A and B are shown apart, each in its own frame.
Chain A
Amino acid sequence: MTEAIYPQVRIVSARFLRPDTAEQLLNRLVQVGGIRRMSINGPSIPATVPYGPARGQPNPHPDRKVIHVGDQDVQLQVQVGTIILELEDESCISAICEAVDEVFADKDFSCTVQQGRYMKTQPTMSDYAKYGPDADKEILGLVDPRKKGGPIIIQGTK
């Protein structure tokens, strides 16, 4: 769960991003700093075919890649469409807008930065029913807490 005191922004591009563009954008955001948490959203790219007659077979996909963000390797499991950020304070927002504009300057599609509430602040009844009372509150509302492999921690400059 998140504290409602922290501002949040959402970066939405008009097209789904290729892994190298996503890597470039995320690295630029990491340089800006002031980000507490980040969630990468988009349609899932599973490792195996999830259903249909070929269910269970491996699913080689050119966009399911490991990218390098900050000092960490990140396994992409989705085609990046939206990035949600929780910030330390509102002063970073203009720097984030600048960073996004810089990355998308040479692209032929746009990308917008919106400010609002995009992370849950308290568990819902369904969350309680699905994940029980002991679910990890740090990631509840961002991803499925039952998922193996916790969040990736990128060391800041502070």
Chain B
Amino acid sequence: MAYKPQYGPGTSKVAENRRKQMNPSQKLEKMRDVTDEDIVLILGHRAPGAAYPTAHPPLAEQQEPDCPIRKIVTPTDGAKAGDRVRYIQFADSMFFAPCHPYQRTYTECYRFRGIDPGTLSGRQIVECRERDLEKYSKELVETELLDAARTGIRGATVHGHSLRLAENGMMFDMLQRSVLGEDGIVRYVKNQIGEPLDRAVAIGKPLDEKWLKAHTTIFHSLGGTPYRDDAEYIEYVQRIHSLRTKYGFMPKE
């Protein structure tokens, strides 16, 4: 029988949302329109319209060693062109952000190729070739994985994911990269490392509380779905915990 991934345990809505995000055959809902130039501005790695700087000559121009793996794996566009490796980093608020660091890494590993994600408690970074990065970033920003108020694109000084929200509902950002305007639209006024942009980049309105609670992938005992309510999830985590603890003693089930 062919292997069919289950993506994750759980019977709760949160578990279902997690599986939906991870499953590459499920299309993520598009929430906003952001242009390619906007993405380049927020990332801040190159000027919009500039050529991609390279780390090595294009693969077609250089002699490749005779390697069976290279014959199996098709290089991504960025690798083919010899682009530099660049990054995008997100911070997700604990107050019902649509995604969170571990979830992002799982989702990206299932959906994208040629990436190197780094997962931390409050932030998640993904590195890849610049051309691929811009393509992937566009998907990460435009779809339901991002909320304009509770997700921050932050290359440095990410502090804020576990803090109270501001009065207007925005996640705390020491550098205030994104600002909620009078018209209710969030605009990035600085790039991800905190350098002011020449023009503000609009990324749409923050999603409402009801939508966030229905689409969040975060268990939360205050106002959300408590982790303890999902018995299947608990059972799975306890099983993994028990097996890895007993591993040195050669567990037999």
Q: A52-B157, A52-B194, A59-B194 are in contact. Are A15 and B174 (CB under 8 A)?
A: no
Which of these binds chain A: B103-111, B162-170, B213-221, B234-242? B162-170
Q: Which of A43-95 contact B (CB under 8 A)?
A: 43-46, 49-54, 57, 59-63, 79, 81
Highest count of chain A CB atoms <10 Å: which of B168, B172, B194: B194
CB <8 Å contact, B164 and A16: yes
CB <8 Å contact, A60 and B196: yes
Contact digits for A113-149, partner B, Cβ 8 Å, 1 yes 0 no: 0000000000000000000000000000000000000
CB <8 Å contact, A54 and B172: no
Chain B residues with Cβ below 8 Å from A45 are: 174, 176
Q: Which of B134-191 contact A (CB under 8 A)?
A: 155-157, 159-160, 163-168, 172, 174-176, 179
Q: Count how many chain A residues have C-beta atoms less than 8 Å from C-beta atoms of the other chain.
A: 27
Give the interface size class of chain B.
20 to 34
Chain B residues with Cβ below 8 Å from A81 are: 163-164
The reply to whether the CB of A18 lies closer than 8 angstroms to some CB of chain B is yes
The minimal Cβ–Cβ distance linking A12 to chain B, given in whole angstroms, is 9
Chain A residues with Cβ below 8 Å from B160 are: 43
The minimal Cβ–Cβ distance linking A142 to chain B, given in whole angstroms, is 21
The reply to whether the CB of A1 lies closer than 8 angstroms to some CB of chain B is no
Chain B residues engaging chain A, CB cutoff 8 angstroms = 155-157, 159-160, 163-168, 172, 174-176, 179, 193-196
Can you list 15 A-B contacts (CB < 8 A)?
A: A15-B165, A16-B164, A16-B165, A16-B167, A18-B166, A43-B163, A43-B172, A51-B157, A52-B156, A52-B157, A53-B193, A59-B174, A59-B194, A61-B175, A62-B179
